[in-house]
Amino acid sequence: MPRVKVLLEKVSRGEATKDEISELRDLAQLIQSSALCFETCTGVATYVIDPEQCIGCTKCARNCPVGAIRGTIKQPHVIDQKKCVKCGTCFNGCPKHAIKENNPWQKNT
């Protein structure tokens, strides 16, 4: 997005015209609507297992399509963030709701 950089530099120096500011606004809307997923983006979310709630049933580990969850039966499990593909299978399948989603785009309520 070299054009965005050029426009932002002109704006920051106070040299941008109204047309350039309008162009920058249009480009920002295009980026927001097509490239960034904001509130629905799973790529930025992480899943973590709350050790206080995890009963070690192994359901998450057995259902993880990439083997990103490890643990011992009846002990809290852990998600390997480097292996996790953020599919949500563990989150949706946990019978104790011990898996939490941390998504920086979600609004705190």
Q: Is the pLDDT of residue 11 over 60?
A: yes
Question: Across residues 6-22, what is the average pLDDT?
Answer: 94
Closest by alpha carbon to 48, among 73, 78, 25, 85? 78
**Structural domains of the chain ordered from first start:** 2-36 (no CATH), 41-102 (3.30.70.20)
Cβ(60)–Cβ(99) under 8 Å?
yes
CA–CA distances in Å: residue 80 to residues 63, 77, 97, 107: 14, 10, 18, 25
φ/ψ (deg, to 5) at 46: -130, 150
**Threshold 0.75, pTM exceeds:** no
Give per-residue pLDDT as tens, 32-81: 666 555 555 556 678 999 999 999 999 999 999 999 999 999 999 999 99
Query: Average pLDDT, whole number, for the chain?
Result: 87
Residue with more model confidence, 105 or 50: 50
